[in-house]
Structures are given as C-alpha cells and as structure tokens.
C-alpha cells in the first residue's frame, strides 16, 4: 500500500513541501525575468510542466538502461543535457507543424527552458533519490506544477506591485527577490505534511 501511494505523495510533496523553485532555488533566472505578466508566466509555466514531466522519466530510462549497465553514471550531466535539448527541439518542431495556436503560446518559451536549471535539477534529484520510473514521472510532473504555481503567484503579486510604492533601491529584481523569500517561508508551512525522500 505504502509503495502504491508513494508516487502520489511525491507528486504533492514536489508541488508544495519541496517546491523545486522555493526550496531549492532552481530555475531562478526565468522566474525573475518572465514573472512580470500573468499571461506569459502561465505560458512559460505550462511549457515547464510539459518538459519536466516528459524529460524526467526519459532521463530515468537513459540512466537506468544505458548509463548504469555500462558504469557511466558520471556522464549523466552531459547526457541529460543533450536529451533535454533534443527533446525540446523535437517538441518545438512538432508544435509548429501541428498546433499553430499552441506553438504561439508555448513555442517561444521552449528554447528558453532548454537551459532552465530546474529541468536538469529534476532529473538529477530523481537519480540521487533513486526513484522508480513511475515515481520519476510524478516527481517531474509535480515539480513542474510547483514551479508554475510559484511563477504564477509571483506574477500575480508583481501585477499588484506595479501600482505599489516600492523604495527606489528595491525596484525590479530587488523587491522580487524579497517577495520570493516571503513566498518560500510561506511554503515552509506545508513542510510538516509530507516529505520527499
């Protein structure tokens, strides 16, 4: 039973208690630069969810079935990066061909997240924590959703912030980092609920 429930608890844990952005500070650069507007952060968030949920199990397969048998675990960084890059490129081409609308809303973000460290981070965590294939999928999916939740929440706050009085020295990235800190603290409130391991 516990085994059966594990993927689900990891799914929720990766959204709330160990949010990849707010507890591990991964994927900060696009989080800070693209969170100005709600609509674009939703687009980027959706792209991250999709890419994380697919590349994490993909990398799991490459790692378990290719790298481990040949004792090449130390090559995982370079391999994960190429797999992610190729997959993102492929998705972009498919979107452009078959779904013009989706390409317009997600397409421009896809090249951007090839180098999003949260994506690589999810693949590396899944190795360190020795997840199974199914757990990896739920972990990647959940981490993506968690990242999206954080950036959308931040975009909402920053929309309000446009009319707020911010001390001159804190304008722009300064106040955004301060808010990210508050958000991280707020998310710590979830930490008693479930844990990833």
Partner 1 sequence: MFTTLLISIAIINLISVFLALIMVIADATIGNYGVCSITVNAGAREFEVLGGQTLLRALNQEGIFIPSACGGRGSCGLCKVKVLEGGGEYLPTELPFIDDEERKQLVRLSCQVKVKTNVAVEIPEELFSVKEFTTTVEKIRDLTHDIKEVTLRLEDPNEISIKAGQYIQFVVPEYGDIDEEVYRAYSVASPPGDASHVELEIRLVPGGICTSYVHEHLKEGDEVTINGPYGDFFLRETDAPIIFIAGGSGMAPIKSILLDMQKQQNPRKAMYFFGARSKRDLFLLDEMKALEESIPNFTFVPALSEPLAEDNWGGEVGLITEVVGRMVEEASSSEAYLCGSPGMIDACIEVLGKLGVAEDRIFYDKF
Q: What angle do CA 49, 123, 35 make, to 5 degrees?
A: 40
Q: Give 61 or 134: the residue with its C-beta nearer to partner 1.
A: 61
> In angstroms, what is the minimal distance from the CB of 98 to partner 1?
8
> In angstroms, what is the minimal distance from the CB of 36 to partner 1?
18
Q: Which residues of the chain form contacts with partner 1 (CB under 8 A)?
A: 62, 66-67, 70-72, 75, 78-79, 82-83, 86, 89-90, 93-94, 96-97, 100-101, 104-105
Q: Give 66 or 133: the residue with its C-beta nearer to partner 1.
A: 66
Q: Give 76 or 158: the residue with its C-beta nearer to partner 1.
A: 76
Inter-residue contact 26 to 115 (CB < 8 Å): no
Per the rule left: phi > 0, alpha: psi between -120 and 50, beta: everything else, 27 is left
DSSP letters, 50-91, are HHHHHHHHHHHHHIIIIITTTT-GGGHHHHHHHHHHHHHHHH
> In angstroms, what is the minimal distance from the CB of 146 to partner 1?
27
Q: At what angle do helices 117-128 and 133-161 cross, to 10 degrees?
A: 140
> In angstroms, what is the minimal distance from the CB of 137 to partner 1?
21
Give Cα 141 to chain centroid, integer Å. 8
> In angstroms, what is the minimal distance from the CB of 163 to partner 1?
23
Q: Give 71 or 168: the residue with its C-beta nearer to partner 1.
A: 71
Rg value, the chain, Cα: 17
Q: Give 50 or 187: the residue with its C-beta nearer to partner 1.
A: 50
């Amino acid at each position: 039973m516990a085994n059966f429930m594990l993927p689900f608890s990891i799914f929720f844990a990766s959204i709330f208690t160990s949010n990849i952005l707010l507890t591990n500070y991964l994927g900060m650069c696009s989080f800070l630069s693209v969170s100005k507007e709600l609509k674009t952060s939703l687009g980027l968030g959706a792209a991250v969810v999709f890419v994380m949920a697919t590349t994490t199990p993909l990398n799991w397969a490459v790692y378990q079935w290719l790298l481990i048998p040949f004792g090449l675990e130390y090559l995982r960084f370079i391999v994960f990066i190429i797999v992610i890059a190729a997959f993102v490129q492929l998705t972009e081409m498919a979107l452009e061909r078959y779904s013009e609308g989706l390409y317009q809303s997600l397409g421009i973000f896809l090249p951007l997240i090839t180098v999003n460290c949260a994506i690589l981070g999810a693949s590396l965590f899944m190795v360190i924590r020795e997840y199974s294939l199914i757990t990896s999928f739920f972990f990647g999916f959940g981490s993506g959703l968690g990242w999206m939740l954080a950036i959308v929440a931040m975009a909402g706050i920053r929309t309000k912030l446009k009319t707020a009085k911010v001390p001159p020295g804190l304008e722009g990235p300064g106040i955004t980092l301060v808010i990210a800190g508050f958000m991280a603290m707020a998310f710590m409130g979830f930490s008693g609920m479930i844990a990833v391991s």
